[in-house]
Amino acid sequence: MRAFGRVRMTAAALAAGLLAAGFAVAGCSAGPPGASGASGTATPDSGGTHGPTAQAAAVTPLEPLPAAVAATLAPYYGQQLAWQPCDDGFECTTFRVPMDYDRPGDGDLTLAAARAAAVPGGSSAAGSGAAEARIGSLLLNPGGPGGSAIEYLESAARTYDGGVRARYDLVGLDPRGVGRSSPVTCLSGERMDAFTAVDLTPGDQQEIDALVAADKEFAEGCRQHAGPALGHLSTVEAARDMDVLRALLGDERLNFVGESYGTFLGATYAGLFPARVGRLVLDGAMDPALDSITGNRTQAGGFETAWSAFAKDCARREDCPLGRTEQQVGDQLTALLATVHERPLPSTDDGRRLTEAQATTGVIQAMYADFLWPDLRTALADAKAGDGTGLLKLSDAYYGREADGTYPNLMFANTAVNCLDLPAPFGSPADVQRAVPDFERASPHFGRGMAWMALNCAYWPVRATGTAHTIRAAGAAPIVVIGTTRDPATPYDWARSLAGQLESGRLLTYDGDGHTAYGRHSACVDGAVNRFLLTGEAPEQGRRCDR
């Protein structure tokens, strides 16, 4: 997802992180889409017509780039890809892009991509014959920003719908600064452990100073390790990189499935290159029209909505450790976090102790997918009994921490992209303190912490290059935008707004829980998306799916 603050998790990283942390995810898909066996129905969206938010109407639209490739960029568009076998049956390659598209002579970045070639003979739940001709390449992005599309591809390729796999080469491109594409790094594993433990609900000046020091250390580490590339990791630049790869793959139009932040990347591509839009699916949609303060606050509200759904479900279950009503569950969570704040809990992980920040992160992690709710109930019960191991594992999974104490570059790239894409929401702790009441109204359980999380960009060493904007993509082919009604990380209203901004946007609603919808629960969603990818037939405007 493209988080506005420190809340960030891709579908691929969710699955990979849970496996690394020892959580079983068999039988559940947090991201890789395929034909679902669940039942599902579709009805028109009862919300009626959709359209841009009031804020969206007031911000500047993203303007398309010239259709012709500039002469200074022709060498990049004229490269030849050299695919080599890699990673258990996949093919990998690298190619060059300019670090700065406005100054191509200032140096290049090397980007990495992988592909799973089309597999003829697959069958599709969408009913399209797999024996038909290859359509082209289908680029995948799992979100973040900072999620590795190559890692995601390696799981997605085996679970995608058979008909889609038969007619597309699935391609994962790690965006600039991410994974294998000139990755940005910032802190050692030991310092990241300290960073994740810092109090995010400071109650006095000493705690505020500690949080500011942690954010400054993170920013300085990124500056030292990344160099001048740190100022060129924006979403606009990543979208331009996708167009270079599209050309090198030999595709006239870009076919793309993006989840979470991947929807912002895909929508940005559509805004810059509307005539080159093929079949775009944007699942768990971002709203590019939101400034960073509004985005953080409404995202906090999304997590509150998800918490409410969890609390109601928990209260009905015999193993719920926090009470028998939604109110009791919420009150006892607040009490538990206050206890952990005063006395961090021991764990079985090499003497590490669970802090309040990590406990809250563990709860937030479980809001991304309802199949994690049983693990959260167990972790909360253990925490009440004085054992922080379960919540610490969930927190580690959120950050992608490996068992050996190392971290991927997910969080480093995430912050680097976010701090470039939008001006910092807050310039000082005093700004945060003034905003906390609004955040707490949006989310009584998470608002305060999420307000303080958003302070990190205040100390970023390079100035933001982007601003909030609408995306119209005039003249583009139909673009499918998917929103989940109780999505914690990308609230449903964001999908409604993006679909309304896009001239050719088609809103597909999933009435359910968790982050993103394609390939997770609903045969209705999966069928509509697979049909679109295979035939180009977009779902009717306002279609609504349940399980």
Known catalytic residue at 515: yes
Query: Pairing state of beta strands 543-545 and 505-513?
Result: parallel
* Residue among 291, 303, 273, 244 at smallest CA distance from 99: 244
438 is catalytic: no
- 415 vs 5: CA distance, rounded Å: 8
From the list 50, 232, 469, 515, the catalytic residue is 515
Return the residue matching tokens 């998917």: 482
Q: Choosing from 487, 493, 511, 513, which is the catalytic residue? A: 487
Q: Which of 128, 260, 347, 395 is catalytic?
A: 260
Q: What distance in Å separates the CA atoms of residue 25 and residue 31, rounded to the nearest whole number?
A: 11
Angstrom distance (rounded) from CA 222 to CA 124 = 45
Tell me the Ramachandran region of residue 340: left when phi exceeds 0, alpha when psi lies from -120 to 50, beta otherwise: alpha
Torsional sign, CA 19, 21, 27, 29 = negative
**Residue 368 in tokens:** 């991304």
Strand partners, 85: 91
Reference 429, options 218, 204, 194; nearest CA is: 204
Rounded-to-integer distance, Cα 152 and Cα 140, Å: 8
Instruction: Name the one residue in this structure whose structure tokens are 């294998």.
Output: 180
Phi-psi region of 89 (alpha: psi -120 to 50; beta: other; left: phi over 0): left
Q: Closest by alpha carbon to 525, among 479, 482, 487?
A: 482
Q: Which helix (H) or strand (E) holds 281?
A: strand 277-283
* Residues pairing with 61 in the sheet: 470
Residues designated as active site = 260, 487, 515
